[in-house]
């Protein structure tokens, strides 16, 4: 009898164990991305823009133009420039050729664009619009985000003119670095066929018919300083 009771009791316990509801697993923690923390800027920051036509290497002025440089590196570090295009090729008919600029960027894409940054005029930074200079694209001063231009020639008309009576000329554009390798690639982009019907306003007729894709934009280690 005792054995039978023990057997019945064991069966009841087993039945109870099987019938008991399973404990709910704790809900997974939300996969919240860590906030971006910009590393300290060096005097010069080097980046490489790898396009389908080749690589453009730039030195950015971390010391002289820290706001514009940090903004550009924000897009680089979060890989938001990957997959963008060079979409504009402005040809100026005067002066030594090639004369003009090429433009690239995220074009206000809602999933890629960051808030605009404060304007850094060339009168403050001393970084001027010479051939190979990179400069932030903008509408009004203080609206620059993730689009930029590279100069094919000296374009001092884009530099700040503090003595001008025109507010646009007073502000100029924010130059913040220059090409150190790959001006031949910039020229290839500039030479791409343009569509006379594409673009709006002053940009009509300056849009590249088949925009040049950017594969990646990455920081590049600066070469070691030569030993004395």
Residue 12 has pLDDT above 70, yes or no: no
What pLDDT sits at residue 221?
A: 93
Measured distance CA(46)–CA(57) in Å, rounded: 7
Tell me: the pLDDT tens digits for 45-93?
A: 999 999 999 999 999 999 999 999 999 999 999 999 999 999 999 999 9
Residue 18 has pLDDT above 50, yes or no: no
Q: What pLDDT band is residue 116 in, cutting at 50, 70 and 90?
A: very high
Measured distance CA(188)–CA(90) in Å, rounded: 13
Mean pLDDT of 10-21: 39
Mean pLDDT of 13-29: 50
What percent of the chain shows pLDDT beyond 90? 77
Domains of the chain: 44-220 (2.40.100.10)
What pLDDT sits at residue 38?
A: 76
The torsion angle over the Cα atoms of residues 178, 182, 183 and 185, rounded to 10 degrees, is -130
Q: What pLDDT band is residue 2 in, cutting at 50, 70 and 90?
A: very low
Q: CA 23 → CA 12, 20, 26, distances in Å?
A: 20, 9, 9
Query: pTM for the complete prediction?
Result: 0.83
Residue 150 has pLDDT above 60, yes or no: yes
More reliable by pLDDT, 24 or 136: 136
Half-sphere exposure of 94 (CA within 13 A, CB side): 2
Nearest to 112 by CA among 66, 150, 70, 147: 147
Q: What pLDDT band is residue 202 in, cutting at 50, 70 and 90?
A: confident
């Amino acid at each position: 009898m005792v054995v039978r009771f023990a057997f019945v009791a064991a069966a009841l316990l087993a039945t109870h164990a099987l019938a008991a509801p399973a404990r709910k697993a704790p809900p997974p923690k939300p996969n919240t991305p860590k906030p971006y923390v910009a590393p300290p800027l060096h005097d010069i920051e080097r980046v490489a823009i790898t396009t389908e036509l080749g690589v453009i290497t730039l030195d950015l002025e971390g010391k002289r133009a820290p706001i514009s440089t940090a903004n550009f590196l924000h897009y680089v570090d979060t890989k938001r420039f990957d997959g963008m295009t060079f979409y504009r090729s402005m040809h100026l008919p005067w002066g030594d050729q090639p004369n003009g600029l090429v433009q690239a960027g995220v074009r206000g894409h809602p999933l890629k664009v960051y808030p605009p940054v404060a304007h850094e005029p060339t009168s403050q930074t001393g970084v001027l619009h010479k051939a190979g200079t990179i400069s932030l694209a903008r509408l009004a001063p203080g609206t620059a985000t993730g689009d930029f231009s590279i100069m094919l020639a000296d374009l001092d008309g884009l530099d700040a003119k503090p003595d001008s009576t025109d507010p646009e000329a007073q502000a100029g554009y924010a130059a913040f670095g220059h090409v150190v390798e790959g001006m031949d690639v910039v020229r290839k982009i500039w030479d791409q066929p343009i569509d006379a019907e594409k673009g709006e306003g002053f940009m009509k007729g300056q849009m590249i018919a088949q925009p040049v894709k950017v594969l990646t934009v990455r920081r590049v280690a600066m070469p070691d300083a030569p030993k004395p």
